[in-house]
Amino acid sequence: MQQRLIEWKYNLLYFRNTSTPITKNIFRQIRNKSFKNYKDLRWNAKNIEKDITPVRKDGKFYKFHYSRLDTNSTIYHFQLRNLLACPTKNDLYYYAQDSIRHYSPITHEFESIFNLDNSSWNNVFSLTASKNLVAIGIGDGNYILCDVNRPSHQKIKALPRVNSTDPQAASVDYTINYLKFLNHRSGNEELLIASNDFYCRFTDMNTLKYSYEYKDEKPINCASLRNDGRTLLVVGDSKKSKLIDTTSNVVIKEINEHYDYLFSCEWSPNGNYFVTGGQDKCTRLYDFRNMSHSLNVLSMNISSVRSMRFTEDNQYLAVAEQADYVHIYDAANGLFLREQVIDFFTEIAGIGFTPGDGNCLYISTVDTNYLHSSIINNYGAIMEFERCRYTMNDIFF
């Protein structure tokens, strides 16, 4: 009689009956060796290895707290993984297979707030949320604003279109790659929109009119605004990252140190540092006060960098690979030389910290049925990790 031989409680991986013993470490080795990272450009990993900054792997910053295993979390585009938003400590929003859902960290229950059964809308590429609004970007260049207090009240807005008489009009891709609510530039809430039509735009939420726009030479995959409200960091289908002065649209700095397209970037809340990451499997850290070269180069394990988040108190940076790994770095002293790695076996849809104190880290993952024929589907999950709080007597070196 066959028996279940393995059950990895906290790794979302459960084997059906099997007669072949296998340990987690062995499966991890097989998985890491067989995973194929997607590339848009040709590059040699040895060129990057010489730049990698060694970091300590003994970080103990967040501990496992809870997993909800039937969330139906999903992704629509394999390169775009910002599909989880944490606007308050009591509210999470994520993309499910048929809807945008609200998840409560208190009750661990979820509910649909916006139905996506309409096939023209069920192609969500990006998602963000503020205290009162959820915004989702869909593939035809439309974005939908949903009032969380009145979910039935939605507004649908479209990106500006190229004139139909333009010879290139038919070839323009309006996919919205990244969204983020801003409160830096004025008293009004704004929505940052990065899209494949080469634009980064800010939309005033009071008037729903564009308050700023920057056009690049390539599709923009992600953008982040510094705490000064004027310095914009953009990355896209290029090895270059750019810093833009939004008051003049002048390129302040252009950096060309990555080896493949970039899909994630983020400013530290104090404005001293910024990070960029992409398909060359590394995260590059820069000091805004000296941008002559990257301060640190942080290596990923098996796949591209798809999402990044700082805690609002500048203590930690979380970096999500496309699959299996979330890296947490100690950012308190600006060196990022200590790391905690959270590992599991599934694709990642998004990550987020609790705003303010960064007390919780949330990871949204998708169905694992592609991994192995003997793995039982879990239909997506949201994992919660709680910040470790230490007294002076607990500090380890």
CB-based contact 325:309 (threshold 8 Å): no
Does the structure show a pLDDT above 90 at 118? no
In the beta sheet, which residues pair with residue 350? Answer: 364
Tell me whether residue 359 is exposed, middle or buried, using C-beta atoms within 10 angstroms of its C-beta: 0 to 12, 13 to 18, 19 or more: middle
CA distance linking residue 89 with residue 105, whole number of Å = 8
Tokens of 246: 């939004």
Tokens of 375: 């793995």
Average pLDDT, the chain: 88
What's the pLDDT score for residue 349? 96
CB-based contact 71:350 (threshold 8 Å): no
Angle formed at CA 345 by CA 339 and CA 347, multiple of 5 degrees: 90
In three-state secondary structure terms, 47 is helix
What's the pLDDT score for residue 90? 95
What Å distances lie between residue 120 and 53, 117, 137, 177, CA to CA? 45, 9, 12, 17
| Highest mean predicted confidence (pLDDT) among 65-69, 89-93, 112-116 | 89-93
Does the structure show a pLDDT above 60 at 244? yes
Phi, psi torsion values for 112, nearest 5 degrees: -80, 130
Query: DSSP code of 154?
Result: E
Name the strands in the sheet holding 316-321, side by side, starting at the edge strand that comes first in the sequence.
62-68, 381-387, 360-365, 339-353, 323-330, 316-321, 305-310
Instruction: Give the residue with greater pLDDT, 12 vs 50.
Output: 50
In three-state secondary structure terms, 56 is strand
What's the pLDDT score for residue 296? 96
What's the pLDDT score for residue 372? 42
Does the structure show a pLDDT above 60 at 370? no
Angle formed at CA 263 by CA 186 and CA 161, multiple of 5 degrees: 65
Q: Give residue-wise pLDDT tens across range 90-108.
A: 999 999 988 999 999 999 9
Mean predicted confidence (pLDDT) in 216-227:
97
Q: Give residue-wise pLDDT tens across range 299-351.
A: 999 999 999 999 999 999 999 999 999 999 999 988 899 999 999 888 999 99
What's the pLDDT score for residue 397? 45
Q: Collect all residues with Cβ–Cβ distance below 8 Å to 54 and sequence separation of at least 6.
A: none
Q: Collect all residues with Cβ–Cβ distance below 8 Å to 391 and sequence separation of at least 6.
A: none
What's the pLDDT score for residue 1? 34
Predicted TM-score (pTM) of the model is 0.91
CA distance linking residue 136 with residue 144, whole number of Å = 5
Q: Give residue-wise pLDDT tens across range 179-219.
A: 999 986 567 899 999 999 999 999 999 999 999 999 999 99
Q: How many residues are given for the chain?
A: 397
CA distance linking residue 91 with residue 208, whole number of Å = 25
Quick one: what percent of the chain has pLDDT higher than 90? 72
Position 5 confidence tier, pLDDT thresholds 50, 70, 90: very low
Q: Give residue-wise pLDDT tens across range 349-360.
A: 999 999 999 999
Residue 20 CB neighbours (<10 A) = 9
- Written as one string, the DSSP assignment of 86-153 is EEETTEEEEEBSSEEEEE-TTT--EEEEEE--STTT--EEEEEE-SSEEEEEETTSEEEEEETTEEEE
Query: DSSP code of 339?
Result: E
Tokens of 124: 């969500």
Tell me whether residue 73 is exposed, middle or buried, using C-beta atoms within 10 angstroms of its C-beta: 0 to 12, 13 to 18, 19 or more: buried
CA distance linking residue 224 with residue 235, whole number of Å = 9
Does the structure show a pLDDT above 70 at 14? no
Does the structure show a pLDDT above 70 at 289? yes
Instruction: Give the residue with greater pLDDT, 367 vs 40.
Output: 40
Instruction: Give the residue with greater pLDDT, 156 vs 242.
Output: 242
CB-based contact 4:13 (threshold 8 Å): no
What's the pLDDT score for residue 276? 98
Mean predicted confidence (pLDDT) in 361-365:
97
Phi, psi torsion values for 49, nearest 5 degrees: -55, -35
Quick one: what percent of the chain has pLDDT higher than 70? 87
Tokens of 263: 């899909």
Position 367 confidence tier, pLDDT thresholds 50, 70, 90: confident
